[in-house]
Homo-oligomer: A and B are copies of this chain.
Amino acid sequence: MRYELYYWPTIQGRGEYVRLALEEAEADYIDVARCRNGESKMMAMMNSRRLDTPPFAPPFLKTNKQIIAQVANILFYLGARHNLAPKPEAARLWVHQLQLTIADFVVEIHDTHHPLGSGLYYEDQKPAAKRRSEEFWDSRVPKFIGYFEGLIGHNKGHYVTGRRLTYVDLSLLQIVEGLRYAFPKRMKRFERKAPAIITLHDRVAARPNIRAYLESDRRIPFNEDGIFRHYSALDE
């Protein structure tokens, strides 16, 4: 079976956490909206009134049996099938819980440049974005990254939950990459306080499938339409 991933074709966005998992697993998939007429196919599915389980928003993954939306839900499904999460229920829920915490962090990252809502342009909310970014770096980054830093120290493994890679490690790679892109100055200062996360990032980035993906043209470059956006006014 070939998975069909549906996500906006020009950004990493939330779809990237799914792409990283599919790539690490060497899963057979197509990134539908990046193919010819793919975006209209995606919109048609989203607007269809015939689907019993319509997604609220991309990304969503079509398998031969179902359509699954919400990043953490998709990863929960993939993790069980592609050895990207442990199998016992308690451990599966723990890894899922960490992914949900990352999802919360992703919302806060997006809100640094769009605190007043995504219906307005960044240019129309710059002062608010500056205040939100200050708060984000003063209290939220230390809290979220510090939490994962503590987990790695506690587990003493190579990965967040121990000796084996999970989809959570892949997502943390993306968080580090994204913060470096969006806030290069602030992140450079902050990294000294988070050595374990940086070591984790480097270890994940060196995995053959991930390295090959990051160097391929399947990896969309960061840009100012995604979740992580570089606005120099927010990086001071």
List chain A positions with a Cβ less than 8 A from chain B: 49, 52-56, 65-66, 68-70, 72-73, 76-77, 90, 93-94, 96-97, 100-101, 104, 107, 111, 115-117, 119-120, 125, 128, 131-132, 135-136, 138-140, 144, 147, 150-151, 154-155
Q: B residues within 8 A CB of A139?
A: 117, 119
Whether the Cβ atoms of B90 and A65 lie closer than 8 Å is: yes
Per DSSP, chain A at the interface is helix
Whether the Cβ atoms of A116 and B115 lie closer than 8 Å is: yes
Chain B proximity of A29: nearest CB distance (Å) = 18
Given A115-B116, A116-B115, A128-B128, decide whether A70 and B97 contact each other with a Cβ distance below 8 A: yes
Could you say which of A53, A90, A139, A140 has the most chain B C-beta atoms within 10 Å of its C-beta? A53
A/B interface sample: 12 pairs, CB < 8 A: A53-B97, A54-B150, A66-B94, A70-B101, A73-B93, A76-B93, A100-B100, A115-B128, A116-B128, A116-B135, A117-B140, A119-B139
Tell me, in angstroms, the Cα distance from A119 to B125 when the chains sit together. Answer: 19
Tell me, in angstroms, the Cα distance from A77 to B65 when the chains sit together. Answer: 23
Whether the Cβ atoms of B73 and A90 lie closer than 8 Å is: no
Tell me, in angstroms, the Cα distance from A139 to B97 when the chains sit together. Answer: 29
Whether the Cβ atoms of A154 and B49 lie closer than 8 Å is: yes
Whether the Cβ atoms of A136 and B154 lie closer than 8 Å is: no
Q: B residues within 8 A CB of A138?
A: 119
Closest residue to A143 on the B side, CB-wise? B56
Whether the Cβ atoms of A100 and B73 lie closer than 8 Å is: yes
Given A115-B115, A131-B116, A136-B117, decide whether A90 and B66 contact each other with a Cβ distance below 8 A: yes
